[in-house]
Amino acid sequence: MKITLCLLTRNELPCLKIIFPQIPAPGPDAGYDEIVAIDGGSTDGTLDYFKEKGIQVLGQSKRGRGEAFLIAFEKIQADAYLFFSPDGNEAISDFPKFKKAINEGNDLVIASRMMKGSFNEEDIHWFKPRKWANNVFNLLANLFFRKTGPYVTDSINGYRAITTKAAKILKLSASDYTIEYQMTMRAMKHQLRIYEFPTIEGQRVAGETGAQSIPTGIRFIKRFISELQGKD
């Protein structure tokens, strides 16, 4: 099983400088076999950084996080993809957990920020609008699309792995931040094996978010409706 670690970046240099050196070299214990970056048009030196480190980069002709997923599926030869955002949110120590779950026959593996034993970046505050909104999206996905398997607690989290076989079945199309939500809803529809484990979400270590809450939330509502209608 060849697992490719896909680094997703758009203007992430300050974070990348902190996070990249913490990534173990590929190998049997690292949890992945190959590393490729998919970049959405960085202009801040992210590309030079990858070049300096000898990391292969796939560019995007269209902006968008979903677009990066679609390019990975199209251009990278692997048996599974592990998507990783090097901004400090995602725990590198989880890599082997993804590998284990993929090797055990799961189609989609999600690091959950909502399960018992997990931590969400908003858990440091009492007011958690993003977490609450995400839980509404979780509930909708489970109510309308889940036919088998356990309740999916973090249907939108980006920190996830999917097999190539599953990605082919799902024929994903979202080019924006709703790609993961579309992936989870479709995996439910197709009754694929979804596995979650608890993760500790860290704080973004530098830079700024590219996903503004309100417009992104509206896109999620639209995505849910289009999945309900069975659109491409």
- According to the binding rule CB under 6 A, does residue 163 interact with ligand GTP? no
**Coil, strand or helix: which one is 23?**
coil
In the bound state with Mg ion, the residue whose beta carbon lies nearer, of 15 and 152, is 15
Can you tell me which of 190, 193, 204, 219 binds ligand GTP, judged by CB under 6 A? 204
CB of 169 within 8 A of CB of 88?
Answer: no
Locus of tokens 């990534």:
23
Residues 6+ apart with CB under 8 A from 137: 155, 156, 181, 220, 224
Binding mask 59-98 for ligand GTP (x = CB under 6 A): -x--xxx--x----------------xxx-x---------
- According to the binding rule CB under 6 A, does residue 201 interact with ligand GTP? no
**Coil, strand or helix: which one is 194?**
strand
What is the total residue count of the chain? 232
Binding residues with ligand GTP: total (CB under 6 A): 20
Distance between CA atoms of residues 48 and 52, nearest Å: 6
- According to the binding rule CB under 5 A, does residue 46 interact with Mg ion? no
Q: Please report how close the Cβ of residue 3 comes to ligand GTP at its closest, in angstroms.
A: 18
Name the DSSP class of 30.
T
Q: In the range 105-144, which residues lie near ligand GTP by CB under 6 A? A: none
Q: Please report how close the Cβ of residue 33 comes to ligand GTP at its closest, in angstroms.
A: 20
The answer to whether the Cα torsion of 13, 89, 174, 69 is positive or negative is: positive
In the bound state with ligand GTP, the residue whose beta carbon lies nearer, of 131 and 190, is 131
Binding mask 97-136 for Mg ion (x = CB under 5 A): ----------------------------------------
Binding residues with Mg ion: total (CB under 5 A): 2
The answer to whether the Cα torsion of 12, 15, 20, 21 is positive or negative is: positive
